[in-house]
Amino acid sequence: MTRYNLEERFLHGGDYNPDQWLNYPEILAKDFELMEKARANTFSLGIFAWSALEPAEGVFEFEWLDKIMDELAERNSNVILATPSGARPAWLSKAYPEVLRTNEKREKMLHGGRHNHCFSSPIYREKVAIINRKLAERYHDHPALLMWHISNEYSGDCHCPICQENFRQWVKQKYQTLAALNEAWWGPFWSHTITDWSQIESPSPIGEMQVHGLNLDWHRFVTDQTIDFYEHEIKDIRRLSPDVPITTNFMADTRDLIPFYSLDYGKFAQHVDVISWDCYPAWHNDWGTTADLASKVGFINDQYRSLKKQPFLIMESTPSGVNWHPVNRTKRPGMHLLSSMQFIAHGSDSNLYFQWRKSRGSSEKFHGAVVDHDNDEQNRVFQDVAEVGKALEEIKEIKGLHKKAKVAIIYDWDNNWALNDAQGFGLESKRYPQTLQEHYRYFWDHDIAVDVITKDHDFDAYQLIIAPMLYLLPKETMKKFQQYTKNGGTLVSTYLTGIVNETDLTYLGGWPQELQELFGVSVKEIDTLYPKQKNLLLMKEQQYQIHDYCSVVQTNTAQTLGVYGADFYQGQAAVTVNDYGEGSAYYLGGRTDQAFLEDFYQEVTQQLRLQNEWVRQGSTNVSIQSRESQQEQLAPTTYYFVMNFSEENQEVEVATSGIDLLTGKTTNQKLQLAPYEVQIIKVTAPVQ
């Protein structure tokens, strides 16, 4: 992937839709002028341009794109060229209705909108292959081409007859025999035994359709089917431009940013050369602090860095507000630079925007953009963007550098799906991703780097692995945990871990033996609390609140660190630790408040010497993240991003002075930060 690595600068720019402006030559001319002023160097082209590229079936028009690409090349800009499959021309839907998606109620969708094609349709695949091949043939060696952007935000599922048949084949391939299938899906329950492969159907939206094994396999199939479609899209592109890296833009869910629900990106990440994603947090909201949200943004960025253990790209973000949150606030002064630098701090090599220019019509005409309808480079948003462009040039030596973490949190898609389906516990209170983010919060607050990995990653690189609520836990992963801990690792898990296997069948004969050995306890019961009910955790003369969940455990070899303060299990173990081989395994039986996690992780990180040594006196409102130079012959250099996610002045104290790359000034050990200020401090250790 030479070209990407050779690119020495951060990517700055974004989604550019000249295809909407072909009748406005003065606008296109203005764009080029403004690009320079915004210090924008990279543009994603053609994302929804199918109707401009192929206005009628088999009639192709590339001249407009040639011109834009040539002009960008001349200006030393990069193009991330998209395949247009995210939305299709009307002629295509009209001539071949099979390309349209069928929803879960088995209703055929109408033409309109976007991201709504069938991933199985042979005709859609054929039409996509043709346009993609044409693009690759024409532009594979174009000097502006930096990367391929495949489709746009793949998501959703289709329940049409072709998809049903593909699902059947997938299931058959996986289980081979109906006996194995019925065992895995627990067939006889409510008489759901399958006696012929043709009886298999995707889950219906009817509430009673509670074949959990089927639901779980459908989620997996949808991921595999989406990846298969993506692989189909890239076939000729890869053949014709083997050196050009390929990406597709991933997402996160909700304005509060939790991991994306419906596709297993852990799997998908293995198929892309570079991870890129679209990040739209609701800054300046009325339900949480700026730091609350910033920590969640940090979590998702850490996940995307960790999935491939390499720098990622922000493919889309907004320079101001979006148009799809219930309330679309614009960024306050300072927030754009701060939030852009946060991406870089966590391992991004870009800040790209949706969108370069606001469209004139349709649903995104009020979505934030670099260039507004006023076309004015003096407006605040444009100036903020230019400031980020300048900053990215000032810190360009950081591009490509890695970020090291000795702590990992495990996020697992299978687990999230199965837990979400589980009828039981508190239906509203499971909150698996949010719980991970609560654990993450300690590390974010204390400026300790974290990787967010899947259960399939290598565990050995970490001193501490945090794996809360792993309800679905295959035996294989239990063995991996045992090995990791035996070799000296520290593992933390919680209530609701280790209940079902990979096909969502409960373990028989009590809590799995492997977990009993590892944690030195046996889980006997899980008590679920109503939202207003609390229990207490008593530990080291401290008292903490417990809500939602309490596991009642019997301790075997584990040492009890804290006990429940109330109810029929009062006095019994709530927090335990077990020495296992060279390492230790902690079990947190109850869902605690943040105060407990704060004290608990403080002790664990102190024991393991995981604290950020550079930070003498931190602040929970100031996030400090770093990227490091790994070049051997040179003195080790660390770049600290010191970011004030609050509306007040903050002061932190650090171990060494350095140079603030944004101002060029030497810093001292006491750093004063204005509201939303960011400093990027280069510290070079003396050569030993």
Q: Judged by CB, which is closer to Zn ion: 160, or 478?
A: 160
Minimal distance, residue 26 CB to Zn ion, in Å: 43
314 binds, among Zn ion, ligand GLA, none (CB under 5 to 8 A by kind): none
What percentage of the chain's residues is helix, strand, coil (to nearest 5)? Answer: 35, 25, 45
Contact 23, 336 (CB under 8 A): no
Considering 7, 54, 233, 316, which one is annotated as catalytic?
A: 316
Chain residues that interact with ligand GLA, rule: CB under 6 A? 152-153, 278, 280, 316, 322, 324, 354, 364, 367
Of 7, 153, 233, 677, the catalytic one is 153
> Which partner, ligand GLA, Zn ion, none, binds residue 598 by CB below 5 to 8 Å per kind?
none
The option from Zn ion, ligand GLA, none interacting with 152 (CB < 5 to 8 A, set by class) reads ligand GLA
Shortest approach of ligand GLA to residue 315 CB, angstroms? 8
Binding mask 135-164 for Zn ion (x = CB under 5 A): -----------------------x-x--x-
Please tell me the distance from the alpha carbon of residue 326 to that of residue 236, in angstroms, as a whole number.
41
For residues 252 and 269, which CB has a smaller minimum distance to ligand GLA in the complex?
Answer: 252
Give the other-Cβ count within 10 Å of 57's Cβ. 12
Q: What DSSP letter does each residue of 409-434 carry, written as one string?
A: EE--HHHHHHHHH--SS-TTT--HHH
CB of 149 to Zn ion, least distance (A): 24
- Cβ 575 vs Cβ 495: under 8 Å: no
Footprint (CB under 5 A) of Zn ion, residues 65-124: 118, 120
Contact partner at residue 120 from ligand GLA, Zn ion, none, CB < 5 to 8 Å by partner kind: Zn ion
DSSP string computed for 582-619 = TEEEEEE-EEE-HHHHHHHHHHHHHHTT-S-TTEEE-B
Q: What residue type is assigned to position 3 of the chain?
A: R
Q: Nearer Cβ to ligand GLA, position 9 or 115?
A: 115
- Dist. CA 89–CA 53, nearest whole Å: 10
User: Of 280 and 413, which CB lies nearer to ligand GLA in the complex structure?
Assistant: 280
- Which residue number is nearest to ligand GLA in terms of Cβ? 278
Query: Which residues in 482-511 contact Zn ion (CB under 5 A)?
Result: none
Q: Which does 158 bind (CB under 5 to 8 A by kind): Zn ion, ligand GLA, none?
A: Zn ion
Vertex 34: Cα angle to 33 and 40 (nearest 5): 110
CA angle 614, 615, 620 (to 5 degrees): 150
Pick what 414 binds: ligand GLA, Zn ion, none; C-beta below 5 to 8 Å, kind-dependent.
none
> Minimum distance from CB of 151 to ligand GLA (Å)?
10
The minimum distance between CB 154 and ligand GLA, in angstroms, equals: 10
What whole-number distance in Å separates Cα of residue 588 and Cα of residue 590? 6
Active site residue 541: no
> Residue 502 and residue 474: Cα distance in Å, rounded?
5
Q: Which does 278 bind (CB under 5 to 8 A by kind): Zn ion, ligand GLA, none?
A: ligand GLA
Q: Which is nearer to Zn ion, 129 or 566 (CB)?
A: 129
Distances (CA, A) of 59 to 50, 53, 91, 114, 686: 11, 8, 12, 22, 63
- What are the C-alpha distances in Å from 541 to residues 180, 493, 537, 544, 597? 53, 23, 10, 10, 16
CB of 280 to ligand GLA, least distance (A): 5
Is 296 or 367 the residue whose CB approaches ligand GLA more closely? Answer: 367
Residue 316 known to be catalytic: yes
Radius of gyration for the chain, computed over Cα atoms and rounded to the nearest angstrom: 26
Distance CA 512, CA 649 (A): 51
Give me the active site residues, please: 153, 316
Binding footprint of Zn ion on the chain (CB under 5 A)? 118, 120, 158, 160, 163
